Amino acid sequence: MVEHTAENRGVAGSIPALATVARSREPGSKGFVKSPPGLPGRLVRLCAVRAARFFGSAVLVALVCIVVPSVGVSSATPNAVQVPNACGRVEFVSGLEAVFGRFKTHQQALNFRTTVTSRGFVNANIIEGCNEFRVVIRGIDTFDVGVDLQSEARNEGFHVTLECIQAKQIGRWEGILGHGRDRPAANDIVARAAAAGFPGAKLRNDPCGGFEVYVAGFADKASADQFAAAARSRGFANATSELN
């Protein structure tokens, strides 16, 4: 079982990252992930993992788009509910994305996507932002899988970056039990929670890969704080309350 703390979770923002590619995955389509053969098990320096989320603000009759770093960590301090972006994409699901390139026009992105898919990365899509079009692959559950995909793409000549996507807040208080590096680790936390008297725990993607284990249904911060305190007393050292 692996629980991520605020110190060891992948956090949004521009940060240098080190990761170990421990083993090759089964041969498969480059449409998602295929580890390069014979990659030694050593530390490799990755590109900065960057994350951005979009905020929109209205000033008189003009709408101005700004980009700010988002932090993919649980916190007991609530943040303001995000305002839907007037020009960009509102994200409803957090997760990791591999960015192959950014372009000013949709046609440029289409042309590049054709190149990417012709080299075997058939799941590449185009995401429209405020002032750019990104060619990306999403649906990456873990940071390790993202590293494998990044390595494969670099072997094909694509300078892929891994970026964290933070979903918009919905204004609901929740109790966070922990974080798993992958789905099996997160499911172990769910099973342990049920055994400790906290049934109904669920999983969702963390912004930078991995999964967050949470319990919803609290009326206010006080009740969520009470739940988190009880969870800590039963062995969930990193339990906290969070305004999602």
Q: Which pLDDT tens digit goes with each residue over 108-160? A: 999 999 999 999 999 999 999 888 999 999 999 999 999 999 999 999 999 99
pLDDT band at 22 (very low <50, low <70, confident <90, very high): very low
Give the sheet arrangement for strand 161-165, strand by strand: 50-51, 161-165, 95-103, 133-140, 125-128
pLDDT band at 190 (very low <50, low <70, confident <90, very high): very high
Mean per-residue pLDDT for 220-227?
Answer: 96
Q: 140 or 10, which is more confident?
A: 140
Final residue belonging to a domain, choices 130, 165, 200: 165
Q: Which pTM was predicted?
A: 0.62
Tell me if 54 sits within 8 A of 65, measured CB to CB: yes
Tell me if 89 sits within 8 A of 110, measured CB to CB: no
CA-closest candidate to residue 218, choices 201, 241, 200, 240 = 241
Owning domain of residue 196: 173-243
Final residue belonging to a domain, choices 165, 185, 220: 165
Whether residue 87 sits in one domain with residue 193: no
Q: 16 or 237, which is more confident?
A: 237
Whether residue 116 sits in one domain with residue 51: yes
CA-closest candidate to residue 151, choices 115, 101, 98 = 98
Domain containing residue 191: CATH number: 3.30.70
Return the pLDDT at 235. 95
3-state secondary structure the chain: CCCCCCCCCCCCCCECCEEECCCCCCCCCCCCCCCCCCCCCCEEECCCEEECEEEEEEECCEEEEEEECCCCCCCCCCCCCCCCCCCCCCCCCCEEEEEEEEECCHHHHHHHHHHHHHCCCCCCEEEECCCCEEEEEEEECCHHHHHHHHHHHHHCCCCCEEEEECCCCCCCEEEEEEEECCHHHHHHHHHHHHHCCCCCCEEEECCCCCEEEEEEEECCHHHHHHHHHHHHHCCCCCCEEEEC
Overall number of domains in the chain: 2
pLDDT band at 32 (very low <50, low <70, confident <90, very high): low
Return the pLDDT at 39. 38
Mean per-residue pLDDT for 207-223?
Answer: 95
Whether residue 232 sits in one domain with residue 133: no
